[in-house]
Structure 1
Amino acid sequence: MIEDNKPESLLEPEAATTRRVERPKRDSARTKAAGGTWQAEKSLATRTQILDATLQCLVELGYTQTTTEKIALKAGVSRGAMTHHFKSRADVFKAAAEYITDLRAVEYEDACRRIKLPPGNLATFESMLDTLVMLQKYYYARASFIALQELQRGARTDKVLAKVMLPLEKALDEKKNASMLKRFPFWADYPQTGEVLRDLFFHSLKGVAVNPTPYMQGDRLHRLHQLLASVAMMEFEKAYEAAHGAKVPPQPEPEKKERKPRKAANA
């Protein structure tokens, strides 16, 4: 996490190059209890397998090079099985867009849970900095992030995909806002400030994640996070003073855990 205002690591080399897909586990018992059958469960598993393969193809090949044939090969299913579930490339991308944006919402909530709650339940510089670090490491260093970027690029010229993406991206933004308010309810008192700071954080961190150059990590990335946290804290202080007619009260210092002395290595 964060120690002395400096993270242990930021976008380690393997995190920038190896992006894992972590999706919610399906409850097969619940599926059958709701009236499903083993055949329906098998069909759902195959469909999910295809959507996972689509995500991986988007990451590895990009939007323009991802075809139904390559998706079927990656998924390990026959072309007949592929056609049974998705009649066209547009169909599979529509389903993949829904699948990936749902996954992004789950991953965002997971990142929010990793952010330490500030003492006094008010924003602090440390909580702003922790937010940036957790989002960079646990939200933007994901395979689903790259896959979503590829879909957004495709939607720029594909009008059919653009119509699919617009409501999904709006819904994702609303889900992210809800997750942040659930974790930090005090932001509900400053909706406009919270929105502009989310935009500042999201677009800044997105820029780093889209182009993970070797130099943008470690101390250099930490300094960027510190600058963003400082700007965010100034905006929060202005919003608080406008709402309450007083400056943000001093917050208690976060408790620091004592380090256990390391044992000397045996000679």
Structure 2
Amino acid sequence: MFILARLPGVAAAKRDRSGGGSRTGPGGWDAEGVSEQQLSIRFDPQLWLFLPPRRRRAEARPAPWDGTSSLGHVVQSLGVPLTETGTLTVDGRPALPSQRPPAGATVDVPAVRRPQALPVSPPRFLLDVHLGSLARRLRLVGVSARYSNDADDPDLVDLANEEGRILLTQDHGLLKRRNLHLGAYVRGSRPDDQLADVLERFAPPLAPWTRCTACDGPLVPVDKAEIAQQLRPGTRRTYDTFARCSSCGRPYWHGAHTRHLEAVVDAAARVSARSTG
């Protein structure tokens, strides 16, 4: 096992995105006096964070419907990405997002079940530009997490699809992109809370101290002599056990920040045990 360097924070990268979290479609609940037919829609409380505060109600609420839009379109136009929903039901019967509901139907929108069943195992992730600290924590506990702080939306979606990765983001609009295969909204503002959320939802197997926190490459043991030129004199005198990233060549050792990193790993192990127990 190898203790890695301190996990630094990153400033959130910002870029303009059409279709962000605050946007609602023409079928949104804010419309008044509409002539469209209506549906009655009830959202699981776990999904209320995607809705305007005044629309967070336990009872089913009327929503305008044009008579032709699919269930998935209606749900997303009201603010909730389909990546965050479980099996939709129409008048108590399971329904696909592509189906068209009958006028006046009652639609129930549950939250995705945790841990979430996935078509890929073990799950691997691609993180949006504002989740760099989460990416390093996932790598610390041995979960593959690709990350770039300057990737744009189309590139993120293409890479996630090509590599079969789950795109993690806090951008609602990005999750609503029609061509995205696998995605998830990350809850929480603190990196440790975000890590717990991802581990609870996907329950990936953990292998702490086995991935490079800088590039996600696997770590392999290395003789001290092979990396001596990469080490400062004090490190060469103090430590004898090292690993090196097989991708970028960065060395790792049991360093001064052991206690901080072990606390992150221990907390992740507890969350994982609850999720898989």
Q: What's the TM-score bracket when you normalise by the shorter of the two chains?
A: under 0.3
TM-score, structure 1 as length reference:
0.25
Q: Name the structure with the higher helix share.
A: 1
TM-score, structure 2 as length reference:
0.25
Greater RCO (Cα-Cα under 8 Å, separation 6 or more): 1
